[in-house]
Amino acid sequence: MRHGVGAAQIVGVLVVLLVAAGIVLYLLPSSDYILLPDAAHPVAPLVRVQGAHPAKGPGSIYFVDVFERRASLLESLFPFIHSGSSLVSEKLIVPPCSSDQQVRRTDVREMTQSQRIAAAVALRTLGYHVTSTPDGVIVAALELGSHATCKLQPDDVITRLDSTPTPTIASLESRMSRVRPGATVTVALDRAGQKLRVRIRTIKDPLDSKRAIIGFTPDQAADVHLPIRVRIDAGNVGGPSAGLAFALQVMRDLGRAVDRGYRVAATGEMNLDGSVEAIGGVEQKTYGARRAHADVFLVPAAGDNAADARRYAHGLRIIAVKSFPQALRALATLPSKG
């Protein structure tokens, strides 16, 4: 009898120790980030369009986002405790010489830009006259190992290379074509309103050893003028991946039943020419579309986005799109539901 009581006490102590260890591991941060799914959200409450006359019917447009935060040691060791989660190395989220705050500012800038681009693309599609003036090249992401690391930061806008203005990506590439790999260039840039000049030694393009590159992924900065007021307020959601959903909602607010009566979730970064680029967090966003009981999920065809979405779809209809016009055509071919 005493032996039984002793064993029970030992088990009790072990349980207490395991619980305490679990609490400690959950409270201590790791060097990883964790991506968690969030249910897709209706876009309609976020968009206000001058002269709106929304399309009638039961359909709706949804955008999907991802919770992104530093993982605890417990989550880093056992990521499966969260359904649909993914661990990501810190260096893929926070570039060298950057900070969590700078990453957040970049996310906010990308969301603001995606809203303007989405409105511009939707209004152009409807026949409105939209003007856009390119005014620099955005540093969208830095390539680890290049000499640009720590000299450039994500969200910098490059305006000149040496003495040559670079309002477009093409103009920057044209100037770089005259630079030998290993040569040093002077980059003029705008960083959060501050004008800077930095000198960077170029490197060889991995795909063409005769071509010099600085070592970053470019994005086009542009001053966009809309003929009518479009206001999109996504709150604390950051990043560029809601552009496709925003553009669909603007069209719906101006009378086009683009959803065909379906619950349409959409993700994808939009360019001013209407093309749709690949995004991150596809697994979590597919889970989010399913949680919102979406009928259809529009996903970029670029990269592995569509293939990844189909892997986690579990019956959700995935439509891969390369451009906004293609997305509209794909939705138009769905049988009317409403």
The 10s digit of each residue's pLDDT in 25-37 is 566 677 888 888 8
Query: Is 80 exceeded by the pLDDT of residue 1?
Result: no
> Are 60 and 44 within 8 A, CB to CB?
yes
- The first and second tokens of residue 283, run together, are 């697994």
**Residue 245: Cβ-neighbour burial (10 angstroms; 0-12, 13-18, 19+):** buried
In 241-323 the beta strands, taken as DSSP E runs, fall at 263-266, 269-270, 276-277, 296-300, 317-321
If you average pLDDT over residues 193-210, what whole number do you get?
92
Confidence of residue 226 (pLDDT cuts 50, 70, 90): very high
Q: Which domains does the chain have, with CATH numbers?
A: 32-130+226-332 (3.30.230), 132-222 (2.30.42.10)
Higher-scoring residue by pLDDT: 8, 220: 220
Q: How far is it, in rounded angstroms, from Cα 171 to Cα 160?
A: 10
Confidence of residue 8 (pLDDT cuts 50, 70, 90): confident
pLDDT value for 96: 72
Give the tens place of pLDDT for each residue, 146-160. 899 889 988 899 999
If you average pLDDT over residues 95-121, what whole number do you get?
79
Higher-scoring residue by pLDDT: 2, 63: 63
